Structure formats: structure tokens, C-alpha cells
A and B are shown apart, each in its own frame.
Chain A
Amino acid sequence: MAAAQDISLQGEGGTTATFELPSHRHEEWRWADLPALRRAAETPRQVADIDPAALFLDLEGPRLLFVDGRFEPAHSRPGRIVVKPLALETPHPLGQLATGEGWAITLDAEAAVAAIQIVHLGSGGENHLPARIILGEDAVASVVETYAGTGWANRLTQIELARGARLMRSVRLRQNAGFVSIRDEAVIGEAASLVSVFLGAGGMGSRIDGALKVIGKGGFAEMGGALLTSGNQKQEAAVAVRHDAIEGSSRQLWRAVAADRSVASLAARVEVARGAQQTDGEQSLRGLLLERTATVNLKPELEIFADDVKCAHGATVGELDQRALFYLQSRGVPDGRAKALLTRAFVGDAMARIGEEAVRAAFEADADAWLETAL
């Protein structure tokens, strides 16, 4: 067992908390940018010049604003969402830090709430926030989360989907600096469906961690998205889907685009338990290097203990297709714009899963804004 690293961080009211960060020598954390996390936590708080109202999309539905992890009722209309202390249990080293007051929604059978928006605005230092989403039988919800500002935002979200429940979750990371760490833990019941799409298109470092368990027959779990990195930035996603029941399906579709000297890392694992027959798992990890000084790490893993399963997987890293680039240029599209179009096409299928058009358009606009700067 490798040694963990201690880190002392300034907590609220000047108290100092000490906890253990994982070490790079742990396989699951080998690509994690823990120094960036530490630096983000140590940045002094400063007045954010971001208008929180501008971070919400123009959608009907509940809205919650958290500034440095604290609920801001003035900019919120919680509807059926409650803000209260949550005691969530998790083995995850960063998730464990997300204690105290958080947000929760519990929907009864067949209830539906669309376009729940959660905005996390950071001004520096560290903040931690737990969240819980429990959907009863055939209940439906969609959640959009936006991270902006700076500092270290650390989140733990636990999700329980009863039979036939459906949750669509779209998360965009657009902090201009700092670090965002997200831990999702989901339990998916019979014929229930979870689709989570992430877009890392800010200047922060990130670690998106997921543990999804399909425990009911025919359950569906999807976690994917796109990480766009530039400069010296490092972003990563590490997701494990476990199939414990028959006829389940899962999809992990991730795209990484790395420019300059940045690093984007994707680790995705599918575990199929003994007896989880007729599981259909799909894993597609693709990386695009915009410069040869950039790095994309991919780690696809399959662990299958049932004999009647279908698990398609693919992992590739490449550069922009020079023939396609010339084809666009020969039709009059300037070089930078041609690269942006091809790069956008590369990440397009990762965002195509977002069902709500306005949300998908907002994510695409974020990706476009990133491309404008990076190319």
C-alpha cells in the first residue's frame, strides 16, 4: 500500500482541517493533478466578478445557487429541492470531505421535475458539498450543473433510481481556474436509466469520478462527456460501471482534446458480475492531440465474470485528419476555423446525448468558446 499524502487546508472561520489525499502511487490516482488541487484550495478568496444570474440557462424549473458551497437563497428558487445537512457515506477519499449542508431531491413514483439547475460559483479556497437525488418508480428528472469561478469545488452526489426511474444529468465545468472534483455514486434499479454528460471546458483542473451500479434487470447506466484541456492544465475522468443484474446496459463515451502541454486522462471500467448475463456494455474512449506536446491518457478496462455478455470497447488517440483539414480549406474555410470545426465534430457525439435542446446548445456554445481560445 502506498503512502498517502497529508494536506492541511484552511477551513471556514480559520480552522484548519487535515485529511489524506490519495497518492499518485495508487493506480486509480496515477494521473490525478493533486498539486493543482492543493494550489486551488490555497488560493485566497477574492470577490468574484461573475454575475450568478448569467450562469443559469433560460429554462423554467428549480434553481439553486451555491457560492463557495453555501446556499444563496436570493438567487435561488428551490421548488421541490431541499437544502439541509446530509450525512452521506462513501469510501471515496475526496467524496468523504463533502459533509454538512447540501441539496437533495426526492421524487415519489411517477413524479417529474425537469431542468433543475444547480450553479456552483467559487471565489477561492475550498468548498465541499454533498447532494442526493432519489427518484421513485417511474419518476423523471433532469439536472443541469454549472461550475464557475475559481478555488477548489469538491462534490459528492449520490443517486438512487427505483424501477423505471429516469435521470438525465448534464454537468459543465467552466471554472476559469482552480479545481473541480466530482464524485458520483449511483444505484440503478430495474429498467431505470441514468445518463450523465460532462463537459470540462474551463481553465481549471478536474477529476470526475464515477461509480455506477446497475442492480435491477434491464437497468441503463451512462456516464460520458468531453474534456478539453489547454496550457498546462490537467483534467481527468475515472468511471467504473458495475453490472450486478441481468440484461443491463451501459455506455461510457468520452472524448478528450488536448492542446499545448496539457494532459487529459480517461479511465473507464466495466465490471460484469457473475450471473449478470446479457449485459450490453459499450465503451468508447477517444483522444485528439492538437499539438504533439500535449498528452492524452486512456485506460479502458473490462472485468467480466459472466459468459453471455456483449462488451464493445475502443480506445484511440490521434491528431486531426490532414486530408479533412485540406478539404475544408480547399472550400474556403480558414485554417483555425477548419481545425475548430473538425475538433467540434470530434467531441460532438459526446454531447449529442443531452436530451434538452437548450442545454445541449449551451454545452456546444461552451465547447465553441473553448475552441475559439485554444485554436
Chain B
Amino acid sequence: MLDIQDLRAEIDGKEILRGLSLRVNAGEVHAIMGPNGAGKSTLGYVLGGRPQYQPTGGSVTFGGQDLLELDAHERAAAGLFLGFQYPVEIPGISNVQFLREALNSQRRARGEAPLSGGEFLKLARAQADALGMDQEMLKRPVNVGFSGGEKKRNEMVQMGILGPKLAILDETDSGLDIDALRAVGDGINRIMRAPDKAVILITHYQRLLDYVKPDFVHVLEGGRITRTGGAELAHQLEREGYGVVAA
């Protein structure tokens, strides 16, 4: 599904990713762990197509397409979802309006008919219910006044509505209490645990991996993947620290 080869990328002329390679097949969950400043979030943004994050070398193929050639919105329509570490507040646009616009933009780009207001609301309500998000929050401006946990639940509601093939979730567990962590973990399993879908969990800690069992755990350090293992590697990292394990 996703094939990253020797990817290099920079921000403001500073190289952050230095030859990163990673292959993700359908049906797999990959966790990427690593110390601060290793390039974890940069990887998410480069794959998502954020303008300031410039790829300078290597290749990324997603579903047979050259991902780096696509604009951010085209990547979304192709089935890529980027879950934000810090979801952005957008005053003046309601969650419902935002999500309907997003879903119908994607559907149009794929040559599918847009959903009507009624059809969309039904879908949105079902996803909000499944994530334990108050229906009223669908009417509120996007993320405005939401707590950290509510923002992350909202990311999961968005993921449920948009139904991506590949979700790259950047520190989705940060700022969550235990209940919210469980809700988010359940959401990831429910929405993305399928033979035709895949997940990259970018995380600092082991705790989300208690709910979403990874098939592979990678250590990202200095802009490249330095070690790969199974779920047990995450426990080892938590116990012994990145320095010891990666060395």
C-alpha cells in the first residue's frame, strides 16, 4: 500500500529526514516511536503534503501512485488520512459543514456522487455516537473550545466519516485521559483494522499500543529508521529507553 524509499526532506533548509525507508502493506498496523526531534511528525507532514515540508530525495508510492506528486487534497482523496497531534481550531466553520465539504470534495475527486445533507448527517451522527462524542459538538465550530481529548475524538470521528485506506496518526494519544485513550484506541481498531486498510501510529509512548496492537514497531532516530521489531520492541523501548535499544 505504501512504499517509502530513502526519503529525504527538509524544513527551511534543514534536513530532517535522512534516507527513511518503510513499507506498509494492507491489513498492517505500524508504530513509529522515537525521541523528540527524531523526525516523527515531519514524516507525517511530508506524507500529508504540508507545503513547508519539502521532500528533497527518495520516493513514496501510495496505492501505485507517486504520492509526492499529489497536492495535499489529492492525497486525501486517494485515501490518506493524517491525524494531527494538534488539531487546528477553525472559528466560523461548523464541524458538520467542514466534514461534509471534506467528504464531498473527496467523493467528487473520485468521481462519486456527493452525499446529500440528510445522508451526511446520518453518517456523521453514527460516527460521533461510536466515538462517544456529543452530537452537539458536530454543530460547533471545528475544534474551537474543545478539550485536548475532545479534539482527538473529533479526529477519529473525521477518520470514521472519511473512511481512508491509510491513516497516519501523529501522537493521537497525547493529552488523553484513560477513558479518552480507550475510546480513541477502540475507534482506530473499529475504523481501520481491516484487511484493506493500514495504520501508521506515530507515538512517544507505549500506552496507545496497549489498545491498538501493532504488527511492527520501528524506531525513528536522526531522520531514519534504525530498528524494526514486533510489539515487544515497544515494551523494551519503554523499559530501557531509546538510547540503549537503538544502539
Instruction: Give A contacts to B, CB under 8 Å.
Output: 321-324, 326-335, 337-338, 341-342, 344-346, 348-349
Contact = CB atoms under 8 A, between A and B. Distances in A.
B50 A332 contact: no
B1 interface: no
Interface of A is mostly: helix
A348 B141 CA distance: 12
Given A334-B73, A334-B105, A337-B105, A329 B49 contact: yes
Contacts of B109: 332
A328 B102 CA distance: 7
9 contacts: A327-B87, A327-B88, A328-B101, A331-B158, A332-B76, A332-B103, A335-B73, A337-B101, A345-B90
Nearest to B141: A345
A332 B88 contact: no
B92 interface: yes
A100 B106 CA distance: 57
B162 to A, nearest CB: 7
What 9 A-B pairs have minimum CB-CB distances, sorted nearest first?
Answer: A345-B92, A332-B76, A331-B102, A332-B106, A329-B72, A327-B88, A348-B92, A332-B105, A329-B73
B90 A330 contact: no
Contacts of A322: 51
Given A324-B90, A332-B109, A341 B71 contact: no
B185 interface: no
A345 B50 contact: no
Nearest to A347: B92
Interface of B: 48-51, 71-73, 75-77, 82, 84, 87-93, 97-99, 101-103, 105-106, 109, 158, 162
A335 to B, nearest CB: 7
B101 A327 contact: no
Contact of B90 (A329, A335, A342, A349): A342
User: Which of A321, A322, A328, A346 has most chain B Cβ within 10 Å?
Assistant: A328
A330 B72 CA distance: 5
Contacts of A337: 101, 105
Given A332-B102, A337-B105, 9 more contacts: A324-B88, A327-B88, A328-B98, A329-B72, A330-B84, A331-B106, A332-B73, A332-B103, A333-B105
Contacts of A331: 73, 76, 98-99, 102, 105-106, 158, 162
B92 A346 contact: yes
Majority DSSP secondary structure for residues of B touching A: helix
A354 to B, nearest CB: 15
A333 B105 CA distance: 6
A332 B90 contact: no
Nearest to A338: B73
A344 B90 CA distance: 12
Contacts of B87: 327
Nearest to B84: A327
A92 to B, nearest CB: 34
B81 to A, nearest CB: 8
Contacts of B75: 330
Contacts of A344: 92
A331 B98 CA distance: 9
Contact of A330 (B76, B89, B92, B93): B76
Contacts of B73: 329-335, 338
Contacts of B90: 324, 327-328, 342, 345
A334 B89 CA distance: 19
B108 to A, nearest CB: 9
Contacts of B84: 327, 330
A195 to B, nearest CB: 20
B76 A329 contact: yes
A334 B82 CA distance: 16
